[in-house]
């Protein structure tokens, strides 16, 4: 394929934008090539500035569960634009989407709209601190909750330790308030909580990890967190920015039957427009300004375009058989890729929950960050480039999730499996 115009645009972008991109993974650094510049998209396909066509499994990093440019969503947004892009004032649309979210997500009794997943998690943590009167938080290695200071922290020298800054610009004092445990290891959590008795305000976790590849929770892990938090007066926060409305209409908490105290959302609830939300029990949410003293605000929060796109998307997700159809498509492509690798004598470790899936370039099971980090990233990078040249657009990192949309046809999935089989034979 010819990528010359994308190469040109990337060279130009680097003159004006740090690294040439507005979000780091888009730079394609970990796969050893230059990024594509996308011109347009439709259904399960995206098209770059060179006119190349790709079957897309990134889906704008998850929101495009309906596929790109669903006509009903596009029509609704166009109508909303005619009334104004943003007012900085309440609209009926905000009530409609809030009611839909509350009805869908088991843990949410009240919800606040924001403009990004980072805003949602940052605000949820502040509210948990305000509710409990405690300062420390607990997170997990390999889980990503946005780029606020308290969350850009990695584990220290032990399995369950105080964190250290994971980025320049994050003060050490912030990191001291962040404890980092091992995903899928309940004992590491129990140890940290015991060592910091009555000091932990919240535990925040991706109930299905999606930012070290797709890593499902082990049996009993989420249930153990729920029990521990209830016993210790800790707010349990599920970060469902990725899994919310993706693995089930009610998210991972519906799928696994574990209800947190708070939930953060994003991606799908905005139908592809910038959005985030956080919600939970009324007794917690009522502490949020202006009804309480915990402050949070946002100029574009609840803007009519994002609310409109979210409302139309959620309506379509409620159509009969939607998630069963999506489950079947996802199982078909994920198992097909895994079988193609096996047939080529190139074993991978395949994971999937609903329409989230990942092909780990590892012969061993992946269940936490340490096991994920052991993957052969050089082999993945070669696989990525081979798939790209075959017209298959995957996330440009071993440590990302692939997303299936309802718009992917059986023919699309078969082409993807065939491309994977050819790529594995070349590795």
Q: Are 383 and 423 in contact (CB under 8 A)?
A: yes
Q: Is 183 labeled as catalytic in the residue annotation?
A: no
Q: Determine the pLDDT at residue 164.
A: 62
DSSP letter for 21, please. S
Mean predicted confidence (pLDDT) in 72-84: 97
Question: What distance in Å separates the CA atoms of residue 170 and residue 192, rounded to the nearest whole number?
Answer: 22
Answer yes or no: do 91 and 214 share one domain.
yes
Residues 238 and 212 in one domain: yes
pLDDT in tens, 10-39: 999 999 999 999 999 999 999 999 999 999
* Whether 144 is catalytic: yes
Q: Are residues 112 and 155 in the same domain?
A: yes
In a 3-state reduction of DSSP, which class is residue 337? helix
Q: Which of 317, 332, 364 is the last residue of a domain?
A: 317
Number of C-alpha atoms within 13 angstroms, CB side, residue 15? 4
How many CB atoms are closer than 10 A to CB 161?
A: 16
The pTM for the full model equals 0.96
Confidence at 393, pLDDT banded by 50, 70, 90 = very high
Average confidence (pLDDT) over 270-290 = 97
Q: What is the pLDDT of residues 226-257, one digit of tens each?
A: 999 999 999 999 999 999 999 999 999 999 99
pLDDT surpasses 80 at 406: yes
Residue 77 gets the label, from left (phi > 0), alpha (psi -120 to 50) or beta, of alpha
Residue in 149, 302, 135 with CA at minimum distance from that of residue 234: 135
Predicted pLDDT of residue 149 = 82
Report cis status (omega within 30 of 0) of the bond before 26.
Answer: no
353 and 227 housed in the same domain = no
Q: Which of 3, 57, 144, 323 is catalytic?
A: 144
Q: What is the mean pLDDT of the chain?
A: 95
Selecting among 183, 267, 323, 368, the annotated active-site residue is 267
- pLDDT at residue 356 is higher than 50: yes
Q: What percent of the chain has pLDDT over 70?
A: 97
- Position 163 scores a pLDDT of 54
Beta-strand pair 276-280/262-266: antiparallel
Quote the CA–CA distance of 175 and 154 in Å, as a whole number.
9
DSSP characters for 254-307? HHHT---SEEEEEGGGGTTSS-EEEEE-HHHHTTBTTTSSB----TTTT-HHHH
CATH number at residue 335: 3.90.1150.10
Give the end of a domain, one of 266, 297, 317: 317
315 is catalytic: no
Number of domains comprising the chain: 2
138-187 per-position pLDDT tens digit: 999 999 999 888 888 775 434 334 556 678 888 887 788 999 999 999 99
Q: What pLDDT was estimated at residue 161?
A: 40
Q: C-alpha distances in angstroms, 90 versus 144, 269, 301? A: 31, 18, 10
* 245 and 209 in a common domain: yes
Question: Of the residues 48, 239, 261, 412, which is catalytic?
Answer: 239
Q: Residues 2, 52: contact at Cβ < 8 Å? A: yes
Query: Domain span at residue 265?
Result: 71-317
């Amino acid at each position: 394929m010819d990528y010359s115009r994308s190469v040109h645009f990337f060279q130009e972008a680097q003159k004006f934008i740090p690294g040439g991109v507005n979000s780091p993974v888009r730079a394609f650094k970990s796969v050893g090539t230059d990024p594509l510049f996308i011109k347009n998209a439709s259904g399960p396909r995206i098209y770059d500035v060179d006119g190349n066509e790709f079957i897309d499994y990134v889906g704008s990093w998850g929101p495009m569960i309906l596929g790109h440019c669903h006509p009903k969503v596009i029509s609704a947004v166009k109508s909303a634009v005619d009334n104004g892009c943003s007012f900085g004032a309440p609209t009926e649309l905000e009530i409609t989407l809030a009611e839909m979210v509350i009805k869908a997500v088991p843990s949410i009794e009240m919800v606040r709209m924001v403009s990004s997943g980072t805003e949602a998690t940052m605000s949820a943590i502040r509210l948990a601190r305000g509710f409990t009167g405690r300062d420390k938080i607990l997170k997990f290695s390999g889980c990503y909750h946005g780029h606020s200071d308290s969350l850009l922290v990695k584990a220290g020298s032990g399995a369950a330790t105080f964190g250290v800054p994971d980025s320049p610009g994050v003060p050490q004092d912030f990191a001291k308030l962040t404890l980092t445990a091992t995903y899928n290891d309940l004992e590491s959590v129990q140890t940290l909580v015991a060592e910091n008795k009555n000091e932990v305000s919240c535990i925040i976790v991706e109930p299905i990890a999606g930012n070290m590849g797709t890593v499902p929770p082990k049996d009993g892990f989420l249930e153990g967190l729920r029990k521990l938090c209830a016993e210790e007066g800790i707010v349990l926060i599920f970060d469902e920015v990725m899994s919310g409305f993706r693995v089930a209409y009610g998210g991972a908490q519906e799928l696994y039957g574990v209800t947190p105290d708070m939930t953060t959302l994003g991606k799908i609830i905005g139908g592809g427009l910038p959005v985030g939300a956080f919600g939970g029990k009324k007794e917690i949410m009522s502490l949020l300004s202006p009804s309480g003293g915990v402050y949070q605000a946002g100029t574009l929060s609840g803007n009519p375009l994002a609310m409109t796109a979210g409302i139309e998307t959620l309506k379509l997700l409620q159509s009969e058989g939607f998630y069963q159809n999506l489950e079947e498509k996802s199982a078909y492509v994920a198992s097909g890729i895994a079988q193609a690798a096996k047939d080529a004598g190139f074993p991978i470790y395949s994971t999937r929950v609903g329409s989230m899936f990942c092909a780990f370039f590892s012969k061993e099971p992946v269940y936490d960050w340490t096991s994920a980090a052991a993957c052969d990233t050089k082999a993945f990078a070669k696989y990525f480039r081979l798939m790209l040249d075959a017209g298959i657009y995957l996330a440009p990192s071993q440590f990302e999730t692939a997303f299936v949309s309802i718009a992917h046809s059986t023919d699309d999935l078969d082409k993807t499996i065939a491309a994977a089989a050819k790529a594995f034979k070349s590795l």
